[in-house]
Amino acid sequence: MTYIHESSSSAVMDGKERAGNYLAMQKVFGNIYLGKFYQILAENRRNGRYLEIGAGPGYQTAEVMKRLAPEEIVIVEPSKDMISAADEYLTQRGYRNKVELRCGFVEDENLINSLGKFDLIYSTLSMHHWADAAHALRNLSKALRPGGVMIIHDFRRIELPGNLKLHRDSHRAYTPMEIEKMLKQAGIERFQLTFSFPFQILVVKEAEISPIPGLFPEIDTLDDVNPGREAAVLSINTDDDISRELKQAGFKPATRVRVINSDPYHLICGIEQKRFVIDRETASGISVQMF
């Protein structure tokens, strides 16, 4: 028995037979209908960790591994039957040791947060199944590392006369205007939307975080500081010159950093692999809150 059931989260494609049939279809037609996606993926190639949402039986996971060779791909897929099929297929392809399988929903903020940060996040033909796409996009954008990219490939809803449909699921998809509205709700400003009939591809790029000369002299190694670390949140709450410079450099309110060491006059902080010294007296528009 195969069916799609709705929940408060994404729609779930259940059934072992369905998973097998979907994989067989992808093997035959995948390179055709995913051609533009693979092109944009190659243009935005990143090293490091990837997150795939709605991986299905693992076909495009294996293709991405073959084409881009990331260090790791984490899969989030709501169907246990699809997870099982992906486990088997990725083992056959020899990629299983580089793929983490997680059964869950993209709307689950706790789940997405628990996975860590990613250099590239992607999804193919999954977004129209998401119960709350705006919330899902917000979750995913927060999971991007500085300089990371998110690529979402899905149907574009096109109204045809006489209730005609390009695909049985195309009526569930979104128009460009609807996507732009969701991006605004999610607080995402940097994006590009490409139309490739009958699909559209959303690309969201996270700004690089760079040191500000003079304000943030960079530290080359952690040997220069005390190895004791203290977690903190860097909050930019005022609109003075220093705060504006921080925002232009890519910092956002409540940006999570690592306070590596401190004294009465300085904070030594880190974001990803970069380390910065913040002068307490000069950076009057910054507050540090413990968590």
Is 275 among the domain residues?
A: yes
Q: According to the model, what pLDDT value does residue 10 have? A: 58
Using an 8 Å Cβ cutoff, are 121 and 144 in contact? yes
Do 12 and 81 share a domain, yes or no? yes
Q: Which domain covers residue 286, as residue numbers?
A: 222-290
* 49 dihedral zone (left: phi>0; alpha: psi -120 to 50; beta): beta
Helical packing angle, 80-93 and 16-33, nearest 10°:
60
Residues 180 and 267 in one domain: no
Q: Examine the fold and report which residue of 170, 205, 240 is the final residue of a domain before the chain moves on.
A: 205
Among 180, 205, 230, the domain boundary falls at: 205
Q: What is the mean pLDDT of residues 159-185?
A: 72
Residues 55 and 190 in one domain: yes
Does 49 score more than 90 pLDDT?
yes
Does residue 216 form part of some domain? no
195 occurs within a structural domain: yes
pLDDT of residue 61: 96
Considering the domain architecture, whether residues 13 and 113 belong to the same structural domain is answered as yes
pLDDT tens digits along 55-85? 999 999 999 999 999 999 999 999 999 999 9
User: Do residues 55 and 171 both lie within one domain?
Assistant: yes
Give a yes or no: residue 211 inside a domain.
no
Residue 57, pLDDT score: 92
Domain's final residue, options 149, 173, 205: 205
- The number of distinct structural domains making up the chain is 2
Q: Does pTM surpass 0.75?
A: no
- Supply the CATH number for residue 261's domain: 2.30.30.90
Distance CA(48)–CA(27), nearest Å, equals 26
Q: Are 22 and 166 found together in one domain? A: yes
Distances (CA, A) of 170 to 53, 79, 129, 199, 251: 19, 21, 10, 9, 38
| Contact by Cβ (8 Å): 73, 100 | yes
CATH of the domain at 167: 3.40.50.150
Residue-wise pLDDT for 6-26, tens only, equals: 344 555 666 787 887 888 888
Measured between alpha carbons, how far is 251 from 202 in angstroms, rounded to an integer?
23
The model's pLDDT over 173-199, given as tens digits with 9 standing for 90+, comes to: 899 999 999 998 888 888 899 998 889
User: Are 32 and 135 found together in one domain?
Assistant: yes
Q: What is the pLDDT of residue 68?
A: 95
Do 175 and 263 have their domain in common? no
Does the pLDDT of residue 247 top 50, yes or no? yes
Q: What pLDDT is recorded for position 221?
A: 36
